[in-house]
Structure 1
């Protein structure tokens, strides 16, 4: 772990010694869990003296352990030793005082290796499958989020910022009015080395979208999406606002998506989706076909939570079917470019609540499946003879059951991770289904 001590010393030379170090482990829900460590106790981390229960990788969204995972107190809740992830030590510019953060993993108490329960490991496994073929994905994400007024009651609905138009799409005045907080977001991203590109006012009141630069470091792209969510919420709080990446915070306005633009290059750096002929290359067709043919089975990764499925209702402003098109934003998969080094697909199904490591793993796994099997590709939505694809399910439990039964998912994540993920989702379904909603009280209590 001397590498971390060297990285930490370089950080201190540049920024000064932090008051505390925040250790951040990504769980199955993309919630960051961990510990605070005094800024002068870096050797404890470097020497393996910091531990967490191994079950920290797989709680439900409420933070509770899920017995059906086979983790937690049912097996004695053993600890795993924490190790820092190289290159992830960054300042936290929105925090009070001098705070640094570092992403961490846990070693499996049985194997001594980084745990296969890590979402990052699951993505790394898929990227290795590309590398074994002499290929490397190139990827960029886009994330949508809402800013809203701070709430004193956690049960309260969000309220847009003052003077927010109901349709603020690309509205420059909205950007000007929100400049203080948006500049702080971009400045914090720059301090943390997150490769932001354009920022726009999206359609909904208080909604914005950030685009990130393409990178051939897929793990860095996923890290960036995860860290940006934490950053936006932190900066918003520091400016007296709240922010959310909840997929559908308003019933009548567009939801928040996580879009992924993906191409693939060979060992010579050539985009395998580019070709000299007319139309779409066979490799790009195969990749699109693979993503479409596995989309139903992977939907529980793209839409992990109850609120996720509001984006799959009719008139929800979001793509909701395994279909494709060219410059067509109604399609689940869009092809912005089919020629040259920018030839790529854009996957538009995931909600902004998706775990970016798992969602990207599913997209890349679907592309590999397509390259291997060349499934039939339906006509694009742009074709007048196209037949509309059956919509993805709007029922959470159906999506989880399809995930559980999928040979593709087992091959992608392994049976153990599939079962853990499904157990966490089923536990969340039961917990939330047992809650009686306000709308039920309002509608039924005094009338029936």
Structure 2
């Protein structure tokens, strides 16, 4: 098994050759979009006429560094003096080799290339979530631990016409012309009803190099899950997850729907999770989590021990906004404690059944609204911590682990941000500077959110 190295970001002949080969194969291309994903997963960048594409690939894109630290409303809140206070300096967004792809949903033939942010001296930019993950993954590789990762994302298709108070409504079936009110997990009828849009998502993923391979209906009307294939790079796995989000949102809109990865759009239906499947191999590609048993190796258990130890301080990453915490409640197949188990979906860290070569941990805590780069950085840093310290996760749970809520874990946004700020595992791994910037950005967003009076507050208290 060949392990993918950390990205080598040259701007010389290799990148120019890539774009020229691509344009020769797609001569009708009018624009090339350079894009990256910020802290809140919003896609940002610039659009280049194809005649000017060489400038992007040779020089990169000058763009304000603070763009990577905008809150979910798009505001720059000057976190720790980055923005207004420091004169809002530019960084350089550079194309990532191998990410140039067709945009299949637009009316004008266009392409896109993913970018990573660099300081003016060429070093990785502190503010880029992709840099955070790259640094964590490099630390594991330096210790002979090579991640193999796949992600599963849940989402809802919803009606573009909102209900009372702006609430979402389930979509109208293109087949029956009736609003979808069924809750049939793994039901094939739902896949049949929405097969046109799901097929279009599959086709777009293929054109964009996103390795999506299965879709299933989930626990609520209009809810689906798409699985991504395992890859030997956490960076690429996170790239795939974010590109999948982009594909789903755009294709849904083109078919008369909206798509949402909001953690809990309906109060009485299942939330949207981001399940992370992760194993670690040695330099020869041997799965270090496999020892021939269903429970997995001591290395697997130490990794689980680290994940459990870091869960409290990781919640602000796994659940990045106020709505995220509505997803966590007893008996909803959502973790409410730091438990682990074998072939048990009620735990936080599940060891799925299957052959030993595929032995892995399924981390079930993050919501689909979280940033995949930061989620994987937190998970890998926690696993590395547990392995380095041979942490014991305790006995595997048999039966239902979803009944007992662990109150030492922060289940509110404020407590989670406080735990992240004082944590001892993620701060050194993700760097104290980035953790502080993340906390400052999200803390201001939280205060803005809490300053808005919701309609029911008047109903209850006026």
Give the TM-score band, short-chain normalised.
over 0.9
Structure 1: 5+ residue stretches without partners: none
CA contact (8 A) 2:339 2:347 kept: yes
Determine whether 1:39 maps to 2:50: yes
Deviates more, 1:352-361 or 1:33-42: 33-42
CA contact (8 A) 1:280 1:338 kept: no
Return the match for 2:170 from 114, 137, 160: 160
CA displacement, residues 366-391 of structure 1 (integer Å, 9 cap, x when unaligned): 11111011223222220799995615
What does 1:9-408 align with in structure 2 at a 5 Å threshold? 9-48=20-59, 50-109=61-120, 111-151=121-161, 156-162=166-172, 163-276=179-292, 279-337=295-353, 340-382=356-398, 388=404, 390-391=406-407, 392-408=409-425
**Partner Cα separation in structure 1 for residue 294 and residue 331 of structure 2:** 35
Aligned-pair Cα RMSD in Å: 2.1
CA contact (8 A) 2:346 2:400 kept: no
Do the aligned partners of residues 57 and 277 (structure 1) sit closer, same or farther apart at CA in structure 2, a change above 3 Å counting?
Answer: closer
Deviates more, 1:392-401 or 1:159-168: 159-168
CA contact (8 A) 1:17 1:39 kept: no
SS in 2 for 1:74: coil
Deviates more, 1:9-18 or 1:302-311: 9-18
CA contact (8 A) 2:294 2:353 kept: no
Do the aligned partners of residues 281 and 21 (structure 1) sit closer, same or farther apart at CA in structure 2, a change above 3 Å counting?
Answer: same
**Partner Cα separation in structure 2 for residue 26 and residue 400 of structure 1:** 21
CA contact (8 A) 2:293 2:356 kept: no
Deviates more, 1:238-247 or 1:338-347: 338-347
CA contact (8 A) 1:310 1:316 kept: no
CA contact (8 A) 2:62 2:93 kept: yes
Deviation at 1:97, TM superposition (A): 1.3
Deviation at 1:7, TM superposition (A): 1.1
**Partner Cα separation in structure 2 for residue 227 and residue 301 of structure 1:** 19
**Partner Cα separation in structure 2 for residue 246 and residue 285 of structure 1:** 31
SS in 1 for 2:122: coil
Do the aligned partners of residues 398 and 101 (structure 1) sit closer, same or farther apart at CA in structure 2, a change above 3 Å counting?
Answer: same
SS in 2 for 1:51: strand
Do the aligned partners of residues 286 and 388 (structure 1) sit closer, same or farther apart at CA in structure 2, a change above 3 Å counting?
Answer: farther
Do the aligned partners of residues 347 and 151 (structure 1) sit closer, same or farther apart at CA in structure 2, a change above 3 Å counting?
Answer: same
Do the aligned partners of residues 173 and 153 (structure 1) sit closer, same or farther apart at CA in structure 2, a change above 3 Å counting?
Answer: closer
SS in 1 for 2:214: strand
Structure 2: 5+ residue stretches without partners: 1-10, 173-178
**Partner Cα separation in structure 2 for residue 165 and residue 21 of structure 1:** 41
**Partner Cα separation in structure 2 for residue 340 and residue 332 of structure 1:** 21
Deviation at 1:77, TM superposition (A): 0.6
SS in 1 for 2:153: strand
Deviates more, 1:421-430 or 1:42-51: 42-51
Deviates more, 1:48-57 or 1:269-278: 269-278
CA contact (8 A) 2:347 2:402 kept: no
Q: How many residues align?
A: 444
**Partner Cα separation in structure 2 for residue 287 and residue 411 of structure 1:** 17
Deviation at 1:4, TM superposition (A): 2.2
**Partner Cα separation in structure 2 for residue 228 and residue 277 of structure 1:** 34
Do the aligned partners of residues 323 and 384 (structure 1) sit closer, same or farther apart at CA in structure 2, a change above 3 Å counting?
Answer: closer
SS in 2 for 1:353: coil
SS in 2 for 1:104: strand
SS in 2 for 1:341: helix
**Partner Cα separation in structure 1 for residue 286 and residue 357 of structure 2:** 7
**Partner Cα separation in structure 2 for residue 85 and residue 279 of structure 1:** 38
CA contact (8 A) 2:30 2:109 kept: yes
Deviation at 1:42, TM superposition (A): 0.8
**Partner Cα separation in structure 1 for residue 159 and residue 402 of structure 2:** 44
| TM-score, length of structure 2 as denominator length | 0.92
What does 1:406-445 align with in structure 2 at a 5 Å threshold? 406-445=423-462
CA contact (8 A) 2:92 2:118 kept: yes
CA contact (8 A) 1:297 1:409 kept: yes
